[in-house]
Amino acid sequence: MEDKWRVVVGLGSCGAASGGRGVYDALKEGIDQRELSAILEETGCIGMCYNEVLVDVIDPKGRRTLYKEVTPEKIDRILDEHVIEGKPITEWISLSEGVVTEDDAFLKDQKRIVLRNCGLISPESIEEYQAKDGYQALERVLKDMSPDQVISEILDSGLRGRGGAGFPTGLKWRFAAQSDTKPKYFICNADEGDPGAFMDRSVLEGDPHSVLEGMLIGAYTIGAEAGYIYVRAEYPLAVARLKIAIRAAKEHGFLGQDILGSNFSFDLKIKEGAGAFVCGEETALIASIEGKRGMPRIRPPFPAVSGLWGKPTNINNVETLANIPWIILNGAKAFASLGTEKSKGSKVFALAGKIKRGGLVEVPMGLSLREVIFDIGGGIKEDREFKAVQMGGPSGGCIPAHLLDTPIDYDAITATGAIMGSGGMVVMDETTCMVDIARFFLNFTQAESCGKCTFCRIGTKRMLEVLERICEGKGRMEDIGLLEELSESIKTTSLCGLGQTAPNPVLTTLRYFRDEYEAHIIDKRCPAKSCRPLLTFTVIEELCTGCGLCAKVCPVDAAKGKKKEPYTIDQALCTKCGQCLAKCKFEAIRVE
Amino acid sequence: MLHKEQNLETVLSEYKKEQGSLIPVLQRAQAIDGYLSKPVMSRVAGELGLYESDVYGVATFYTQFRFAPLGENIVKVCHGTACHVSGAEEISDSLCNHLKVEEGETTADGKFTTERVVCLGCCSLAPVVMVNEETYGRLTSDKVKKVLDKY
């Protein structure tokens, strides 16, 4: 294999959505036509979603050249000039040793533990995972470590649950290990439900074996013989790759009976979720696996005592588990040397929204939000002004510009009113309306509330109604107080995390962007020019050339006029859809 | 997609003895017809030894399950956070105008069913639309129409 060229196409969901399959097919045809001996492979997400489609060309000496924004039209030059003549095409390079590119900044401050293999190995090849020390941690644990030793190691590492709540993983394992009822279950929570988050999807698509290995180590530690991976049905590629990985692990003796001759046996099944955000909550997830409506129940008893089918159960998130093999192989100290006093290791974030370099990044804890957004993410698209970053999805909040130096640390983020969450980071600029964002999240939590607790079920509905009327310019001054009162009641009277955190997006925007609420309510104005009912579209006569494009696209015939003369917009008919604004080539539409 | 050729009988016999199998059975059953009809839900209840009301209760709890036939192609418009701030509403408007339906409806010729979904997890390509199993990113009001013309 060493003496051949390798051409690797990134085919995670992002790569595929950007046309990766077409690039792969074109490369296959090109390689066949030229009768090259080059090996064509696919890999998972490398994290640079903004550069998709990415193609990695690896020469026989193992030197990598990563090409960005590859299209089927570009492959002839890549094959002819690079693979045949040995001359890389400098202007298309994203990353390569000895070549300085803008993308170097994207990786410079990252610390890839969870994503150590993503984008580097074929997720469908257990051999490639093994070549990267895969399953060696499991072997070490089964041969040389007692469950107590594993628990101490994980406790010493300081690893906290990456699903959002940040509970120490070692403690969770200890509770489950202490229960002496049998059988016990070990569950991987891959029900990544936060809108704006795709970390778990990328890990499952890019390196599924790292999650399986983490689960196996955990199952051995707590004494579980069976387990489930509860994964969103919206992630078909992740499910497909997990199935392949499970089959391969069974064939290689890492899964099944008497694993590696240790007497430890573990049976693993995939359960596909059916679309319910609340199932990210442990007890709701358990109810869903049991085939019931996914509604949370009162704790205690905690799942560690009485979980799936009333038996002791441990649940960890995908990212948490992918950390485990690394900690075992590199030691708790190496992990704990990264990060802050109470937040150790690294954290994966999905960078999205109005950011230049959107994608998947993994940074050591303790880095500031500013470093993540501006140094790694390259700042705001079109160099607009940064307004806020939303962290923690529907349970989190919007962090404003003056807090950009907040470090990535569970407690520091919580102090801002947001939460670390599972890792969604949606960046917002001056064109994003903060009242609209609060409305967006309340719309989400209101729809996803399971309905068990009255305040969550009805309170979120009332909050949504208030936010909707503010966005429509019908808000009243007492609405702000009403929102605060409802928030407090919902937080204190809801059973699970969904209700307890549902008001956070409203509370943080009220705390940092109260002036925007007031502009909507008092002046009937949306400062971000985003809430349509509060906008008026008019034609700027001096700039209008009378081309008539606005009239052509207007769905309600509100734009009228004669060719070559300034057009007008009939305010009585205008539905404020914004299509004239998008279409006008002369910037002749004014929005106020 | 799940195996279309599998009929309800095979699905039921495969899962009958498995504990907590209602959701996978409903998922498989839906894959056969594209939705869950009343007779199918009754059949599932009978075979798994559950009340019909329990089956209906579970099916209506989860957004994945549908109770009306689908069009030939399903178009999911992502309304996750990143898509929302990148103009998902405009994509939905353009798409519905183009197909002359309201969101959630099926076109008169039965070719497309539109659906609003929460997050497809391709946030850095926002705004995103998924047609059947194929994802399309970095869309504009115009581009989304061209995507549909392919089907």
| Interface confidence (ipTM) of the complex | 0.90
Whether B63 and A195 lie within 8 Å, measured CB to CB? no
From-to residues of CATH 3.10.20.600 in chain A: 346-429
Contact (CB<8Å) A14/B124: yes
pTM of the shown model: 0.92
CATH number of this structure's domain A5-102: 3.40.30.10
User: What's the confidence (pLDDT) of residue B6?
Assistant: 59
Q: Domain A536-591 falls in which CATH fold?
A: Alpha-Beta Plaits (3.30.70)
Q: Cα(A76)–Cα(A48) distance, rounded to whole angstroms?
A: 23
- B-facing residues of A in 351-380 (CB < 8 A) are 351-354, 358-359
Closest in A13, A444, A450 to B122, CB measured: A13
Residue of A nearest to B130 (CA): A17
**pLDDT for res A2:** 56
CATH 3.40.30.10-classified regions of chain A: 5-102
Interface with B, mutate which of A53, A198, A290, A439 (most B CBs under 10 A)? A198
Stretch among A468-472, B61-65, B84-88 having the lowest mean pLDDT:
B84-88
> What local confidence, expressed as pLDDT, does residue B1 receive?
40
Question: pLDDT band at residue B113, thresholds of 50, 70 and 90?
Answer: very high
Query: What is the architecture of the domain spanning A434-522?
Result: Up-down Bundle (1.20)
Q: What is the pLDDT of residue A407?
A: 97
Is the per-residue pLDDT at A4 higher than 70? yes
Taking the CA of residue A394 and the nearest CA in chain B, the distance in Å comes to 9
Residue A33 CA: distances (Å) to CA of A27, A28, A30, A76: 10, 9, 5, 11
At B142, the pLDDT band (50, 70, 90 cuts) reads: confident
A509 pLDDT higher than 80: yes
Does domain A126-334 fall under CATH 3.40.50.11540? My reply is: yes
Mean of the per-residue pLDDT values of chain A = 94
Distance CA B26, CA B6 (A): 13
Pairing type for strands A185-190 and A313-317 reads parallel
Whether A235 contacts chain B with CB within 8 A: yes
Residue A512 near residue A428, CB atoms below 8 Å: no
pLDDT of residue A81: 96
Residue A226: name the closest of A281, A280, A307 by CA: A307
Answer whether A325's CB lies under 8 Å from A213's CB.
Answer: yes
Q: What is the rounded CA–CA span in Å between residue A447 and residue A463?
A: 12
Amino acid at A561: G
CB contact under 8 A, B61 and A293: yes
Choosing among 3.10.20.600, 3.20.20.20, 3.40.50.150, 3.40.50.880, the CATH entry for A346-429 is 3.10.20.600
Peptide bond preceding A53: is omega within 30 degrees of 0, i.e. cis?
Answer: yes
CATH 1.20.1440.230 residue ranges for chain A? 434-522
pLDDT digits (tens, 9 = 90+) for A208-261: 999 999 999 999 999 999 999 999 988 888 999 999 999 999 999 999 999 999
pLDDT at B2: 45
Report the C-alpha gap between B21 and A341 in whole angstroms.
Answer: 45
Residue A425, by phi and psi: left (phi above 0), alpha (psi -120 to 50) or beta?
Answer: beta
Partner-chain residue, chosen from A236, A359, A450, that has the shortest CB–CB distance to B124: A359
SS3 track for A243-282: HHHHHHHHHCCCCECCHHHCCCCEEEEEEECCCCHHHHCH
User: What confidence score (pLDDT) does residue A235 get?
Assistant: 87
- CB of B35 less than 8 A from some CB of A: no
Task: For residues A348-364, give the mean pLDDT.
Answer: 94
> Would the pLDDT of B53 be above 50?
yes
Asked if the peptide bond before residue A183 counts as cis, ω within 30 degrees of 0, the response is yes
Q: Hey, which residues 6-45 in chain A have their CB within 8 Å of chain B?
A: 13-14, 16-18
Q: Please give the Cα distance from B44 to B13 (Å, whole number).
A: 11
